[in-house]
Structure 1
Amino acid sequence: METKCEVKHGLEGVAVAISSISYVDGEKGELIYRGFSIEDLVEYSNFEETAYLIWFGNLPNENELDFINAMLTKKRELPKNIIRLMYLFPKNAHPMEVLRSVVSVLGMYSSDNNSTFEDAINLTAKIPTIIAYWYRIKNNFSLIHPNEDLKHSENFLYMMFGDIPQEKELFDKSLILHMEQGMNASTFASTVTASTLSDVYSIITTALGTLKGQLHGGANEKVLMMLEEIRTIDYVEKYVNDLILKRKKIMGFGHRIYKTFDPRAKILKKWLNEIKEEIRYYKIALKVEEVVLKNFKGKKIYPNVDFYSGILYNYFNIPKDFFTTIFAMARIVGWTAHAMEYCKNNRIFRPRSIYNGPKNLDYKKIKEVKING
């Protein structure tokens, strides 16, 4: 067995890049985008402005913000051939499978002359359209095409449901929470692809495949499934204790970086608490949090962003199998920002593995191998 280098399973604690995009302090529970706290950004900013900040490193002036808005508006519609293709997909296809596939196909429609940023804008604009169109195709509804008078998040809700809810700003701010989170699994995977100098569509297809996993973006869907199984507050304690006894993961709790409350979870919890009408599953979630914290006291296991995000999406009538696509709709900004940043001083990723298999075996042709019995 080779023992010349140390293995860090899951690359725990291994730095793979230098970045000025975001900073996560896991001990203090802080998340910063380009120097601004996540709390300030969700309070004062919006999707388009924060996207510009993450891409370019500074808040936009009025002309720069108008430019981003105009670019997103111009790029939202899908090619007609792709829409026809989506009608051929099986209706039971998971929305993340559809999103991943359509993003890959979109790469064939991109000009080789496009800059990385142009392709980033193109995908950022089109991902909400892909999600909304699939929701309507899947449910045999007629398509609602983009409205050029609406902003990014408003357009998505409009294309999904045909109207815009009163709490539209809350949905917009929720996208800011998911926009960026340092070198997480999907960002790392997409940066590996970017390091080969592949195209943006391949980069984002890689990211989407990684995000789909239930230990990453798919966790918010699993959280709501858990809350549906629990059904009533009275059943929470038994349900959670059974999971602990069987050593099963409690979805929505724990984080590789955060060793205290995830600041995004705190923000979502605050929003849910401020909505005047009763939010489905919210009281059950509060009880689950209480029981989990009591059982893991002192072990630094707290709710993460996935624990409360699904409850908010459910409030907006978004089906749970679409939750992870909403995550992707926001994280596309962070993925593309990291790809552009890394490639400015690019070096292809080439880690090692430690071999622990046999050596110097004698080769025998199949006819020479004796079959026992």
Structure 2
Amino acid sequence: MMLSDNVFPVCNYPDVVIETGQGSWVTDTQGRHYLDLNSGQFCAVAGHSSPVLRKALMRSLETIQDTHTGMLSAAALQGLKDLGEISGFANPHSILLTTGSEATEFALRYAKHLKEKDGVLALDVGYHGITHGVAGYSMSRARVRPPLPLSFAAPAPLNRDFSNPDSYDYSSELESLREIVEQNSRHIAAFILEPVISGGGMFALPPGYLYEAVKLCRENDIFVIYDECQTGVGRLGDWFSYTGGELPEPDFVVAGKSLGLGIPVSSVTANRDTVDLEKITLGHFSSHQNEGFSGLIVSECVNWIRQDDRLTYIRDAGQDFLRMLQALNHPMVNAPRGKGFMLAFDLTDDEPGGETIALGNRFVEEALKQGLLMQHCNYGRTIRILPNYNTTREEFRDFIQRLEALFNEFE
């Protein structure tokens, strides 16, 4: 049977079919093993076939699998409580959903409802999901049909000098943001952003820019939404990008991926200090919102990270891994960067385009031959690495050795 016999052709699938996974490793139907330092699609953060996830799912199978939309379970309430505790908000209120796209749609839906405005501001290279609405506010906005009205794109402050991140002058991007806000504040309900722009090239937004942007939004009656589907729930070595104190708090934070340990679970948490939920008159009815199994998974995830002190490990081991990448002396390792378990390097200094896509595709194909599952972003220019939270230092060293062997294919 060919892959093309049954699969909708939305990706360039390699001729590899995965059968099993354990920890940081997966095995295909031919018995070949691959080191997966992207934790699936950045979701299986306790590793493949995780006993942490298994425990939550077994509890769900032994209690209840589904409740109707207008009813809450004890498991969902506990998961919402645990989620609120890690949010960093003094007075958090949350909802459990499925995918990140659903969660960002929810956050924008209620931002528009509460502000009684229809527009959304986002960064030009941000990514917030694949559904029609959030895709219209993402880097793919030009391909959305029909195009969304009142979709405002501001230039992202992309500091390419990763050796000196504090030196970046973001005044031009901030001025552009200010012009958009001042001219369109009567339309804009929310400013949605990724604290680390992932698909657009793995750039951390400068803290100073974010403080000024949040202040500007507060002055112009605009909500700030952090899309932390990738950065949240421990990925950077803190619960969220802002809980370490380096960034300002948002009005809403969206979480996903890590939150579900590999199962589709996402969330939106509102900061009641800045969001008046008493004004809500709009209902929301989704088949799997506030499910008991979602609450169980969230609680297991939070408890596991706490009890194992995973945040400290992610900070320390992530720094060690970054140093390994920085020590590689090869022209295809440009600007290694990152924080915690969210890292990247550029394959080339060329501007993204057709040639960089071809290079990225070839690099990923050759990586499979070396037993590495890798992904490129930024139109093939950038390789991103988001390991599971149990990845060992020995597995990082194994990755480096396989990467060096991979480089020989490009000599």
Bigger helix fraction:
1
Global fold match (TM > 0.5): no
Higher strand fraction: Structure 1 or Structure 2? 2
> TM-score with structure 1 length normalisation?
0.27
TM-score (norm 2): 0.25
